[in-house]
Amino acid sequence: MQPRTLTYIIAVTLFAALAVPVRLAAQAQQKNTQPPMYYIINLGQPLGSLTEPVGINNTGWITGASALTGATAIHAVAWVGTPLDLGTLGGPNSSVNWPIHATTGEIVGISENGQVNPYNEAFSCPNFFLGIPDGLVCRGFAWQNGVMTELPTLGGPDGYAASVNNKGEIVGWAENTFHDPTCVSTGTFPQVFQFEAVVWGPKIGQMTELKPFGTDPDSAATAINDKGQVAGISGLCSVAVGGASAEHALLWEKGQTVPINLGNIGGGAWNTPTAINNRGVVVGFGNTSGDQNAGLSPAGFIWTQGTGMVEILPVSGDTNNIAFDINNNNQVVGQSAGGLEGARAFLYEGGTSYDLNALALPTSLNLVLAQGINDSGEISGTAIDQNGNQVAFLGVPVTNGSGTLPLETKVPAKVQLSAEEVRQLMLKLPGLPGFLFRAMGSK
The 3-class secondary structure across 154-223, one letter per residue, is CCCCCEEEEEECCCCCEEEEEEEEEECCCECCCCCCCCCEEEEEEEECCCCCCEEEECCCCCCCEEEEEE
Kindly state the helix (H) or strand (E) to which residue 434 belongs, with its residue range: helix 431-440
Average pLDDT score, the chain: 87
Residue 1 has pLDDT above 50, yes or no: no
pLDDT number for residue 135: 94
> What average pLDDT does range 69-92 have in this prediction?
94
> What average pLDDT does range 346-350 have in this prediction?
97
pLDDT, one tens digit per residue, over 220-253 is 999 999 999 999 999 999 999 999 999 999 999 9
Residue 287 has pLDDT above 70, yes or no: yes
Residue 442 has pLDDT above 60, yes or no: no
Q: Give the closest residue to 341 by CA, choosing from 365, 370, 366, 323.
A: 366
Contact 368, 339 (CB under 8 A): no
Q: 18-27, 55-64, 201-210, 430-439: lowest mean pLDDT where?
A: 18-27
> What average pLDDT does range 7-26 have in this prediction?
35
Distance CA 296, CA 286 (A): 8
First to last CA, the chain: 40
Options 3.40.50.11260, 2.120.10.30, 3.30.70.1230, 3.30.2290.10; CATH of 5-405+417-440: 2.120.10.30
Assign 3-class secondary structure to 37-48.
Answer: CEEEEEEECCCE
> What average pLDDT does range 20-26 have in this prediction?
40
pLDDT number for residue 204: 85
pLDDT number for residue 416: 57
Contact 272, 260 (CB under 8 A): no
Distance CA 9, CA 7 (A): 6
Q: How far is CA 170 from the centre of its chain?
A: 15
**Residue 277: C-alpha distances to residues 135, 280, 327, 375, 385 (Å):** 35, 5, 6, 10, 31
pLDDT band at 415 (very low <50, low <70, confident <90, very high): low
Share of the chain above pLDDT 70, in %: 83
pLDDT, one tens digit per residue, over 104-157 is 999 999 999 999 999 999 999 998 898 889 999 999 999 999 999 999 999 999
Distance CA 270, CA 296 (A): 7
Contact 370, 334 (CB under 8 A): yes
pLDDT number for residue 82: 87
Contact 209, 198 (CB under 8 A): yes
> What's at 325, amino acid-wise?
D
Share of the chain above pLDDT 90, in %: 74
User: Per-domain residue ranges for the chain?
Assistant: 5-405+417-440
Distance CA 378, CA 40 (A): 10
pTM of the model: 0.86
Q: 121-130, 222-231, 338-347, 431-440: lowest mean pLDDT where?
A: 431-440
User: How many Cβ atoms are within 10 Å of 36's Cβ, its own excluded?
Assistant: 22
